[in-house]
């Protein structure tokens, strides 16, 4: 494929093939003549779909998310690019699949400066841009040639950001909550009044008091994120800016429980997403299109009157947001891709992660595991860990699963017959191909990839996934995929 054909295939319909990479200055200036919206992106850390009250959860209370969803659009099929903090955030900031971002595809490396981020582009076009708490990361902000975090200038909080805002400039603010990331205060949710009997325990986790309490502690932090985002909305109201602000609430990956975060299963990649802009985006809609959080950067750029560069693989959500439709709005958004490279280095002498790519459509979730010989969640370790070690320490047994009570229960009971299937599902080796028929198996418990009845589906989805990875320049599909294993952690 020549360069032009490659670009035509990778830029989607946002940009015709010949768009310039640099921002067109004239366009930016003419757009700034009209009043450009502020952008508030409130990003939770490890928040999974559908754990919000408006999405049907009976225990967690998310009045702020519900409010944004009701006044705007709630997306029921939103996916992160990667189920791991730094690559997921890098993909959001650049509007590109993380497999295009060199070492930026791994956790805790760097994001090379040549990959432009939307806060920088908005700042160059006249926005006041910044973030608080967790921006891009964890990783080394500067070893890739940047002078600051890829999410922009750091502020102590929103008030400090607003105080530094030049008069009449639109702003773009990233509120990077560290909630609901682990660790949790044991029984914080239970003691706050959450009822253990109302907790839904999905069938990939054992249903016992430890897990129910662990889920409540997670909810307690989801609620704190929601409450703090509510405070930001009230600040915008008191400034008289809420009606001129695009508000986005979402998460950077699934929840930190076994068989979830750091996997491309639903539980690692499917996240809540609500977007509002009163008076501009017709509200009260639930949209079922498959969207990627790589679509946010081109959305923000378009809202600011800018045109995303050719390198951007995400597609602006503006046509959906401006429409009055619910359900499936754009027919072509019938599937989404996700992928995974290295999360925590936890495979002994092997420096790599557990590389995966996946394609999710309405009925199926198809996955390619490029190194099925490796341990998916990290090595079991040479000696058994105690419950306390598993609950408190990260870099030990099956270290791609965050330490916590649910993991500790499963691993420490792993040899018992009742617990073995849970341990096998979250940490056991997997086949090269996985296929889940979500109509029959919404929790992805039974891999049917080798079932002859699904042979045609596997063939079709594998061809589709491979073609799209090739078109987006994924080294796992077009070249030296093992390059991801060679990037050093921390630089
Ligand atoms: Ca995260």
Tell me the CA–centroid distance for residue 138 and ligand 1, in Å: 9
CA of 205 to the centre of ligand 1 (A): 20
CA–centroid distance, residue 438 to ligand 1 (Å): 25
Give the distance (Å) from ligand 1 centre to CA of residue 440.
Answer: 29
For residue 45, report the distance from its CA to the centre of ligand 1, in Å: 4
Beta-bridge partners for 74: 274, 286
Separation of CA 418 and ligand 1 centre (Å): 30
Q: Quick check: 226 and 234 in contact, CB under 8 A?
A: no
What residue ranges define each of the domains in the chain, with the CATH number in brackets? 37-333 (3.40.720.10), 339-477 (no CATH)
CA of 167 from ligand 1 middle (Å) equals: 34
Residue labelled with tokens 């796992």: 476
Decide: 232 and 309 in contact? Cβ < 8 Å. Answer: no
**Distance from the CA of 297 to the center of ligand 1, in angstroms?**
18
Q: Measure 243 CA to ligand 1 centroid, in angstroms.
A: 29
How many A from CA of 394 to the centre of ligand 1? 14
Give whole-number Cα distances, 143 to 112, 390, 446, in Å.
Answer: 8, 33, 43
Pick from 337, 340, 402: nearest CA to 369 = 340
Residue with tokens 């768009």: 19
Distance 20 CA to ligand 1 centre (A): 33
Ligand 1 centre to CA of 287 (Å) is 24
d(CA 292, CA 270): 9
56: left (phi over 0), alpha (psi -120 to 50) or beta: left
Query: Tens place of pLDDT for every residue, the chain, 491 residues?
Result: 344 443 333 333 333 333 334 444 434 444 444 689 999 999 999 999 999 999 999 999 999 999 999 999 999 999 999 999 999 999 999 999 999 999 999 999 999 999 999 999 999 999 999 999 999 999 999 999 999 999 999 999 999 999 999 988 999 999 999 999 999 999 999 999 999 999 999 999 999 999 999 999 999 999 999 999 999 999 999 999 999 999 999 999 999 999 999 999 999 999 999 999 999 999 999 999 999 999 999 999 999 999 999 999 999 999 999 999 999 999 999 999 999 999 998 998 888 899 999 999 999 999 999 999 999 999 998 777 888 888 887 668 999 999 999 999 999 998 899 999 999 999 999 999 999 999 999 999 999 999 999 999 999 999 999 999 999 999 999 989 999 999 988 77
316 SS3 class: coil
CA 85–ligand 1 middle distance (angstroms): 4
Give residue 224 CA to ligand 1 midpoint distance, Å.
Answer: 16
For residue 181, report the distance from its CA to the centre of ligand 1, in Å.
7
What tokens appear for 359 in the block?
């394609």
Q: Provide the sign of the torsion angle of the four alpha carbons 106, 108, 110, 115, taken in this order.
A: positive
Q: How far apart are the CA of 150 and the centre of ligand 1, in A?
A: 16
Residue 42 parent element (H or E): strand 38-44
133 close to 177: Cβ distance less than 8 angstroms: yes
**How far from the centroid of its chain's Cα atoms is residue 424's Cα?**
25
């Amino acid at each position: 494929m020549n360069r032009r054909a490659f670009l035509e295939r990778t830029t989607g319909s946002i940009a015709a093939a010949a768009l310039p990479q640099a921002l067109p200055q004239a366009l930016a200036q003419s757009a700034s003549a009209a009043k450009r919206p502020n952008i508030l992106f409130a990003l939770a850390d490890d928040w999974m779909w559908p754990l919000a009250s408006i999405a049907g959860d009976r225990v967690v209370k998310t009045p702020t998310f519900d409010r944004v969803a009701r006044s705007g659009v709630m997306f029921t099929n939103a996916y992160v690019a990667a189920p791991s903090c730094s690559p997921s955030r890098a993909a959001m900031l650049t509007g590109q699949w993380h497999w295009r971002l060199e070492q930026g595809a791994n956790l805790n490396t760097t994001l090379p400066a040549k990959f432009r981020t939307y806060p920088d582009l908005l700042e160059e076009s006249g926005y006041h841009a910044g973030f608080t708490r967790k921006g891009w990361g964890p990783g080394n902000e500067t070893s890739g040639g940047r002078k600051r975090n890829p999410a922009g200038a750091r502020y102590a909080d929103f008030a400090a950001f607003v105080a530094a805002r030049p008069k009449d400039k639109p702003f773009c603010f990233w509120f990077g909550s560290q909630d609901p990331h682990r660790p949790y205060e044991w029984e914080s949710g239970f003691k706050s009044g959450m009822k253990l009997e109302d907790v839904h325990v999905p069938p990939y986790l054992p249903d016992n008091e430890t897990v129910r309490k662990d889920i409540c502690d997670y909810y307690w932090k989801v609620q704190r994120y929601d409450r703090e985002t509510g405070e930001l909305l009230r600040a915008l109201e008191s400034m008289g800016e809420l009606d001129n602000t695009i508000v986005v609430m979402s998460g950077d990956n699934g929840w930190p429980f076994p068989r979830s975060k750091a996997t491309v299963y639903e539980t690692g990649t499917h996240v809540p997403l609500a977007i509002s802009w009163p008076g501009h985006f017709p509200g009260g809609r639930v949209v079922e299109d498959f969207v990627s959080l790589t679509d946010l950067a081109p959305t923000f750029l378009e809202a600011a009157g800018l045109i995303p560069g050719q390198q951007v693989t995400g597609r602006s959500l503006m046509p959906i947001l401006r429409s009055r439709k619910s359900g499936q709005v754009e027919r072509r958004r019938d599937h989404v891709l996700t992928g995974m490279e290295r999360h925590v280095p936890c495979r002994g002498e092997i420096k790599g992660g557990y590389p995966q790519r996946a394609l999710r459509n309405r009925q199926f979730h198809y996955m390619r595991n490029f190194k099925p010989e490796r341990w998916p969640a990290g090595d079991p370790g040479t000696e058994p860990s105690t419950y306390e070690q598993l609950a408190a320490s990260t870099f030990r047994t099956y270290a791609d699963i965050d330490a916590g009570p649910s993991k500790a229960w499963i691993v420490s009971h792993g040899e018992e017959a009742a617990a073995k299937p849970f341990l096998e599902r979250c940490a056991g080796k997997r086949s090269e191909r996985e296929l889940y028929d979500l109509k029959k198996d919404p929790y992805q418990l039974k891999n049917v990839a080798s079932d002859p009845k699904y042979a045609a589906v596997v063939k079709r989805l594998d061809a589709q996934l491979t073609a799209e990875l090739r078109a987006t320049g994924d080294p796992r599909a077009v070249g030296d995929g093992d390059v991801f294993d060679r990037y050093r952690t921390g630089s």
